[in-house]
Chains A and B, each alone.
Chain A
Amino acid sequence: MEKADILKKLADAVAEGEEELTVELTKKAVDAGLSPVEIINDGLTVGINIVGERFGAGEYFLPDLLLGAKAMEAGINILEPLMVGGEREYIGRVIMGTVEGDLHSIGKNIVINMLKAAGFEVFDLGVDVPTSKFAEEIKRLNPNIVGISALLTSTMRKQQEIIEFLKEQGLRDKVKVMIGGAPISQSWADKIGADGYAEDAIGAVKVAKSLL
């Protein structure tokens, strides 16, 4: 296969969310002498952008998006060991976690995948994340945005606690805070002084871009 042909097939594999095929084609691309950066920019990213376009056009749904992101990640996992480091360019860095006492991950993970697909570098802190851990990770990773998820009406107050803690630690001005979760509303976001809130994952990407 020609290099251009491999890249096109690779983009299609990501667009169709075919993880195994993506892995196979990524290896082929490496064997054909393409650099990791070329494979990411002209293959995988082209594919994930198609996913985004189709989602925006109403042809694709959330499972398509997650499968596309999984395929892309599988390709990147093969390329990462081959990269010299610092070669990828992201539009911004985000850390995200679900608050302490709350084990729900689905909503957070959808947003993470949407953000990744939009070109953000995202660090997932997981679920049941203590307030202090958010602060530590902000210090360590220096993200543009911290995303705080809570699904339960009983745990959403933790979002407020985290914002207050960031103020105490002198970190509040260093990072934009986005919150989300089923019981969360714009009025709650305003009340606790969050910078961004969106009702769904599509809105979350728009808000995240606007906060950069």
Chain B
Amino acid sequence: MKFQLVSEAEINKLREATMNVLNNIGIATTSDKFRSFLLDNGCKEKNGRIVFPQPVIDKALKTVPKEWSITGRNGDRVVEMGKNKANAQVCIGMPSMMDLDTGKRRDATLKDLEDFTRLSDALEFIDITAPIFPKDVPQESLVTLEVATLLRHSTKPFRICLESHDEWPYVYEVLVAVAGSEKELKEKGLGYYEVSPLSPLDYGKGPAEAMMDVIEAGLPLGMDPAPVMGATSPITIAGTVVQHMAELLVGVITSQLMDPGHNVIVSPRSGGLMEMKTGVALWAIPEMGLGGALNIQLAKSWGLPAGCGCYTGASKVADAQSGYEHLYNALIPALLGVDVCGSAGSVDNALIGSYEMLVIDNELSSVIKWTIKGININDDTIALDVIENVVNGDGNFLGHKHTRKHLRSGQEIWTPFICQRAPYETWEMEGMKRLEQVAKEKVKEILATHEVEPLSKEVDAELDKIIKKAQEALAG
């Protein structure tokens, strides 16, 4: 499947503008380590900012891997990047949850992180886990606990976001303990590791040095700043995509300068928009879908693996609005070849986690993956002989082997997970349930039954020790 949002000439215009930002406007950074590294590698200072001469950019972009993969702790769950697969990823960093029983917003807890992760583990079309932000645990050593919790409650690869250098040694220790050794960790990756510089074009000390930690450790890097159109980036989609692409490329360039061939993905969040009455950041339709998709088309023009915000919307609950917002924002980038569809299981502009929405997003992910897989066109699927055979025979296709064959193949007809498609009478008899109710029941069923293959007792105990050590060392 090949779709384009804008023409090749327009993409070239955006590429030139992106280079212009890097060549002439550049970035700010408060990290001396990052600043020296860039200056030692051909970058220049201009008005206190750091700019990237074209030869530096060209050299770096030559070595970026177009395809790579990450593997979960058991070795059987692999996520491929660069193959336009629209891998669905749980939303990161949500500080609140929609309570499954009361239907009201409340603080996220460690129990939520465990349950949300276990639910993600069970859902077939959710490929990558990520942590919500529990508030009932020590916050200074949160990432260590989060990574340990993700690894305990799912065997799927994860995505985390690192904010500073200070906590990295403990996070790394958890990763090595679970992978078995540094070598095995490098091979599997277990997940990918993102940092989030500030828009516009500001690499603070925390994200800049965390980024260098990830590259030094030989682990897959992701770049995830989140501009807000009209506030931290231009209000125009084109301007936002250009500024944002430049921000993302700085991470890509750094990774290649430090370690040519380093696995890296860009995670543009173009399309986030400041609601100009209240100042609330919207991750809504249509800007999020269009901005994400344009950024994906641009990133892919350099052959970069790329993901975007996909399963997002402004609705506060898992309702019809969330359904159409999430589908719109995910499907357009997916048609343009996105590698990762983020924000699954979120409502309220990715600020609140919703168990029901995670189940609904799983369904959307299923149909989106089905869609981008494409339609099989060959003599067998065109079925001229079958048509002739049937019209000259008993007049219907129901009893034809061709029908049975393709029904069984799983390649022609999509099978829903929670969509209600039974006859009206059946639906009425079963209580006239709305989809949200079906999703909620599915959540309860999965949480009551799904078991994740546990870590070994030794590793589990080791994680407890590391978490304790991190909490003691980092307590403010």
Q: Which A residue's beta carbon lies closest to that of B106?
A: A187
- Expressed in whole angstroms, the minimum distance between the Cβ of B199 and any Cβ of chain A is 10
Given known contacts A103-B198, A156-B95, A185-B96, A201 and B279 CB-to-CB distance under 8 angstroms = yes
Residues of A within 8 A of B231 (CB): 106
Q: Are the C-beta atoms of B277 and A61 separated by less than 8 Å?
A: yes
Q: Chain B 250-279, CB within 8 Å of chain A: the 1/0 string?
A: 000000000000000000000000101111
B202 within 8 A of A: yes
- Residue A130 is within 8 A (CB to CB) of chain B in the complex: no
Nearest-neighbour CB distance to chain B for A205, whole angstroms, equals 12
Q: Is the CB of A200 within 8 A of B280?
A: yes
Report the separation of the CA atoms of residues A161 and B138 in the bound assembly, to the nearest whole angstrom.
Answer: 13
A61 to B273 CA separation, bound complex (whole angstroms): 13
| Residues of chain A contacted by B107 (CB below 8 angstroms) | 185, 187-188
User: By the criterion CB–CB under 8 Å, are B202 and A107 in contact?
Assistant: no
Q: Which of chain A's residues has its CB closest to B280's CB?
A: A200
Residue of B nearest to A104 (CB): B198
Is B66 part of the binding interface, using a Cβ–Cβ cutoff of 8 Å? no
B281–A182 CB distance below 8 A? yes
Give every chain B residue within 8 A of A202 (Cβ-Cβ).
277-278
| Most B Cβ at <10 Å: residue of A103, A161, A187, A199 | A103
Q: Which of B106, B135, B279, B476 is A107 in contact with, Cβ under 8 Å?
A: B279
Cβ distance B2 to chain A, nearest Cβ, rounded Å: 37
What are the residues of chain A within 8 A of B277 when measuring CB–CB? 58, 61-62, 202
B320-347 interface bits toward A, Cβ cutoff 8 Å, 1 = contact, 0 = none:
0000000000000000000000000000
* B242 → A minimal CB distance (Å): 20
A62 and B274 contacting across the interface, CB-CB below 8 Å: yes
CB < 8 Å neighbour of A185 from B105, B139, B204 = B105
Cβ-based interface call for A210 (8 A):
no
Interface status of A101 (Cβ within 8 A of chain B): yes
B139: chain A residues at CB < 8 Å are 154, 157
- The CA-CA distance from A202 to B281 in the complex, in Å, is 15
A33 at the interface (CB under 8 A from B): no
Interface string of B128-167 (1 = CB under 8 A from A): 0000010100011010000000000000000000011000
Interface residues on chain A, number (Cβ under 8 Å): 25
Contact partners of A185 in chain B: CB under 8 A: 95-96, 105, 107
Bound form: Cα–Cα A107–B232 in Å? 11
A170: interface (CB < 8 Å):
no
Q: How far is the CA of A199 from the CA of B105 in the complex (A)?
A: 14
Contacts of A58 in B (CB 8 A): 277
* Binary CB contact string for chain B from 75 to 101 against chain A (1 if under 8 A, 0 otherwise): 000000000000000000101100000
B179 an interface residue at 8 Å Cβ cutoff? no
Asked if A152 CB lies within 8 Å of chain B CBs, one says: yes
Cα-based distance from A185 to B218 in the complex (angstroms): 38
Q: Is the CB of B351 within 8 A of A154?
A: no
User: Is A63 located at the chain interface by the 8 A CB criterion?
Assistant: yes
Q: Chain B nearest CB: distance from A18 CB in Å?
A: 19
Kindly state whether residue B303 has any CB partner on chain A within 8 Å.
Answer: no
Q: In the bound complex, what is the Cα–Cα distance between A107 and B163 (angstroms)?
A: 20
Tell me which of B107, B139, B140, B202 has the highest count of chain A C-beta atoms within 10 A of its own C-beta: B139
- B350's nearest neighbour on chain A, judged by CB, is A182
B206 within 8 Å of A by Cβ?
yes
Q: Does A110 sit within 8 A of B, measured CB to CB?
A: yes
Asked if B234 is at the interface (CB within 8 A of a chain A CB), the reply is: no
Q: Is B65 an interface residue (CB 8 A)?
A: no
B119 within 8 A of A: no
| Contact (Cβ within 8 A) B276 A61 | yes
Which residues of B lie under 8 Å from residue A193 when comparing CB positions? none
B274's nearest neighbour on chain A, judged by CB, is A62
A153 to B196, CA, bound (A): 13
Q: Kindly identify which residue among A61, A106, A152, A187 contacts B228, using a CB–CB cutoff of 8 Å.
A: A106
A201's partner among B105, B230, B278 (CB-CB below 8 A) is B278
Within 8 A of A (CB), among B276-308: 276-281
State in angstroms the CA–CA spacing of A58 and B276 once bound together.
10
B232 & A182 in contact (Cβ 8 Å cutoff): no
When distances are taken between beta carbons in the complex, the residues of chain B under 8 Å from A161 are 476
In whole angstroms, what is the CA distance A191 to B380 when docked? 65
B interface footprint on A157-174 (CB within 8 Å = 1, 0 otherwise): 100010000000000000
Apart from A154-B133, A185-B107, what are 4 other A-B pairs with CB-CB below 8 Å? A62-B276, A103-B198, A154-B139, A183-B95
19 pairs from A and B in contact (CB 8 Å cutoff): A58-B277, A61-B277, A101-B164, A103-B198, A106-B228, A106-B231, A153-B93, A154-B163, A161-B476, A183-B133, A183-B351, A185-B95, A187-B106, A188-B107, A199-B278, A199-B280, A201-B278, A201-B279, A202-B278
Residues of B within 8 A of A (CB): 93, 95-96, 105-107, 133, 135, 139-140, 142, 163-164, 198, 202, 204, 206, 228, 230-232, 274, 276-281, 351, 476
Closest 4 CB pairs of A and B: A61-B276, A200-B278, A153-B133, A183-B95
